[in-house]
Amino acid sequence: MAGVGIGALFFYYIVKHNPLRAREMLATSNEYIKYLPVDKSTTNMISPILDFTTRHSSFQDNSTKPIIAMNNSQQYQGEQRIINSGKTGTKRSVSETKKKFVASRQNWTCEDCKTQLSAWFEVDHIVRLDHGGSNHVDNLVALCRECHGKKTAMENL
């Protein structure tokens, strides 16, 4: 019983002197308790506390980080930005977003062997950058690693 009292005093001290730290500590303990192996009666006793802290922390998170819905014109503008970017760049790097866009245009199949792309697919320039090509999506194709390796080896011979 003394341990519970000391724990309660410690918790009160933390909450009083540093409320943000207390909130973080409570959220962390909540996560630990969720995954501890406990029996059904203990779970029934602790679950109202966990439900309260989960609801309370998610409410505060939503108030500090608002969710903004995109309308169709904003989504279209974002897609157009991906399509039109890279026209003048000569840097040999393509963003992950653009790689996924190129792969989705090809229905997630390799342009060369027509197999389904794995998570490790690569994007290749149709016209190489050193030959005047660009990072524009019309100059990019998604290839599996094997086909990209073969194509690069043949170009470098």
**Is 3.40.1800.10 the CATH number for 91-156?**
yes
For the segment 22-46, the average pLDDT, to the nearest whole number, is: 69
pTM reported for the whole predicted model: 0.45
C-alpha dihedral over 149, 105, 86, 73, to 10 degrees? -160
Tell which residue, 155, 148, 157, has the closest CA to residue 128. Answer: 155
Q: What is the pLDDT of residues 63-116, one digit of tens each?
A: 455 556 666 666 667 777 766 665 555 567 788 889 999 999 999 999 999 999
Domain residue ranges in the chain: 2-64, 91-156
